Structure 1
């Protein structure tokens, strides 16, 4: 690994960390597309580049989520009872989601991630001006566990911290944007741990031959991104409590739209 690659990984961490704190998404929507480009330029096999980007993204989200979680918790923005209900499903779902991703071809994975990102972008942009009905009641504990499992499976496949699903899910049940983002940051931790372990194990099983990696997790990229994202996630979390919910949703949707178009384009090539 040369100095240019080190600088690139640190830069990715700076941007992704801020996004993680701001949007509660773990930074995966930023990390995955950039790592895809970087790993491609490093001449890794096209069959493993996408899986390597997703697995490494999940590993970095472990650190990012901790930093973002601490910052949001200081602002009393984490709903811990909801986190405890979602966590079991998130862990199981993320592990199996990693296995499902390992069975998909690289092009299929790119298109699936792209379509998902566009759908979430549209949903968030349309709902940006909607007023959250805070009189709504969250579903039962059992239903939250099942919701967590679904979020976990999807998050592992997409290499994200779950914010793209957790935030709108909580919004739909009357949780205001700031608390939805804060709780999503907490949920990103079990997703990232279970998903990263899954990608490492399934990557080892597939006998992935990539220097400086454990399965589908690139060690140097993980370290470089994690170091910077740990600090910048706190800055993003502070910004999240300054901006209005409508502005947050619009920024979030624009970012996801760009990512979605990128992956669909790459998947169809």
Structure 2
């Protein structure tokens, strides 16, 4: 009996060792896979950073020599040493004055309606699906839409208002989706507390929902304006030229923007080598404008985020 008991204990011990060995092998395999994936993601991140650093080095090394007050304040010229980008800078600022308000009003208003007022059903799902799909439509399609509606049908021509409305349509889905997500993230008990105090639906939205979701909404607006300021294809489609000597002074004037100027100078660099360096200098200015816009928007967003 003792021998049978010892044999049984030995078999049990062997099984435990075998199970422990299997567990160790599984743990080793999992740790190996985890390390491989971690280093793969790290390599992917470093690859992107290295490419970005290389591009930034090329841009700054080629363009810094052309940056000067004359380059920033002169108008366009066929002579590289006299050419400047004041017209493109002014056109870019005018364009953002159209895109920003139109996108915020329509985008936030659409998000509020879909999340707070619209009844859940087929119509709501239809609108939601189309808004999501519009975010993936190529930008040139919005350019053709702007050419058909704003340039030809409304007779605006290749003006600032036509370009601004076209760009607003392009980035509108980004603001709508981001605003919806921000509004959904507002806790329901805040709404219920507001209703319990006797507030109407609009008072609840204005005083509770929007202040609590403003940080997420501004994040979407920042992303939208960042995309709008760097797009070129829609403006090419509606016929925005690059060589504009007069500086625009109203929303009905013809204009050009920094991305358009970069695009055409890059093409013309085949004929004139200096245009490549001028395009690089314009890219630096565009990056500075974009950084300034994002910084102001982030400061505003963080201020509201701390308050609510």
TM-score by length of 2: 0.23
Q: Which has the higher contact order (CA 8 A, sep 6+)?
A: 1
TM-score by length of 1: 0.26
